[in-house]
Each structure stands twice: as C-alpha cells, then as structure tokens.
Amino acid sequence: MALPEVDVSLTIPAHNEAENMGRVLQDVMAVLAEGGRTYEIVLVDDASQDGTVAAARAAMGEYAQNLTVVTHRQQRGYAITVCDGLRASRGKVLAFMDGDGQFDPHDLSMLLAGLDHADMVAGIRNRRADPWYRSFVSGVYNRVVRVAFGIRELDFDCGLKVFTRELWDAVTPIRARSAVFNPEMFFKAHRLGFRVVQVRVQHLPRLAGRRSGGRLIPVARAMRDVIRLRVSLAMNWRPEGARRERA
C-alpha cells in the first residue's frame, strides 16, 4: 500500500556525514514542521561507511517515522543521489539540501515561503565558505552553462532548492547523470513556462567530515556534459504541456 502524501519532502544526499547529521536534522525538523506541515526527510546514503543512517535515526528520535532512507551499496555520486531522493519523495513540495551542514535550515524556511509566488525557488550562496579554487571553478562553470543553455541564473549548483511537485513531474525524466542535472532543471522549467526565482542564502564553513567536490576529473566531466546535454535537448526534447507564468 502506498504511503500517504505529505506537504513537504526534503531530500538530503549524504556520503560519510555522520558527524553532521545530528546538527543538520535537529535544526531542519523544526523548519519543516512550521505551521503544522506534514513532512518527510529522504536521506539518500551514498555508500557511507561511518554510520550516517544510524546517526540520522538517532537525531530524529521520536520523529524517526518521518525518515525515509534510500541506500546506495556503491557510491553513485551527487547528481544520482539527489535525483534518487527526489524520485522517492511523496511530498506536494519537494526540496533538497546538502547534508554537510553548510546551509542554514532557516534559509530553507525562506525558500518554502517563496513558493507562494513561484514554482521553484533556488538559493544563491552568499560569500561561499569554500577554498578559492572551488569558487573559481564554479564561476567558470556557471558562465559556460549560461552561454550553452541561454539562461540567466547564478550559482546553478547551489545545494538548496525547493519546487512544486508539478514542476518536478514536468521536467522529468532527468537525463543528466552529473552536476548538470541542475541546469537541466532550470532550462526545462523556463521552456515549460514555470516561474523560477533565486534568493541569496548563507553558506557556512564545513565543521566536520571531508569535502568531496571540486576535484579536477568531476569538474572536467561536468564541463563536457554541459555540451552533451545541450545538444541532446536541442535534438530530442520539446516542451510539452507548457504553462503560463503566474501574474
């Protein structure tokens, strides 16, 4: 029997984030429950070896019934991990937030409120708390994406986004298997007539765990995939069921 729908599903991708889980989940549960909302947290464990899932269950305590766990036996990477969580979600509103503790859960509340006037609200990291080379690579990547896809957003890969079930259903299936899934969502949402807005959010220093992004090979792969995906969408994808943007 299918589980009942909830108001909000939050996907949290995690690989060896046991040290961060307690702080992240305890703060985010209060945000998700605001105004009596029903919610679920979909933790996608990307082959962690440090007890990430056990730490999550302990952190949620009596509310652990609101936790759904998707497990990867082998590490699949960030993009597949996030999309697996979104596919497993049953909320009217979907969201995802990185599990490394670098986002303030109170910013999630601001993004959710923004859905009163938009179909997708995405964060822009304010003063990124990352090494300079990560910020440099991100800047180059974002310029390449804007040129290739003809979209104007900033900070495509910010790991804090919320959107309606309607938008998610319209932009899927997601073709990208790398970080380019974010630009794919933006591109399709615009072509389908959904309203997309961005707001600035805090980006906090990582206090525990090991940073996994920013390595040369994944970055090069993402640059390559930008071009491949743009060509694929131009040749094989057409907007269907386009809708008007809200007034």
Ranges of residues in the chain whose predicted pLDDT is under 70: 1-2, 129-134, 209-220, 241-247
Residue with tokens 């009163």: 116
**pLDDT at residue 126, as a whole number:** 87
Q: What is the pLDDT of residues 106-121, one digit of tens each?
A: 999 999 999 999 999 9
**pLDDT at residue 211, as a whole number:** 53
Cα 40–46–50 angle (5° rounding)? 95
Distance, CA of 215 to chain centre: 20
**pLDDT at residue 136, as a whole number:** 75
Strands 120-126 and 196-202, by their bridges, are: parallel
**pLDDT at residue 52, as a whole number:** 96
pTM for this predicted structure? 0.89
Edge-to-edge strand list for the sheet holding 67-72: 67-72, 39-46, 6-14, 91-97, 160-164, 120-126, 196-202
> What angle, rounded to 10 degrees, do the helices at 181-191 and 78-88 form?
50
Residue 13: both structure tokens together: 């991708």
User: 3-class DSSP state for residue 110?
Assistant: helix
Q: Which helix (H) or strand (E) holds 123?
A: strand 120-126
**pLDDT at residue 218, as a whole number:** 63
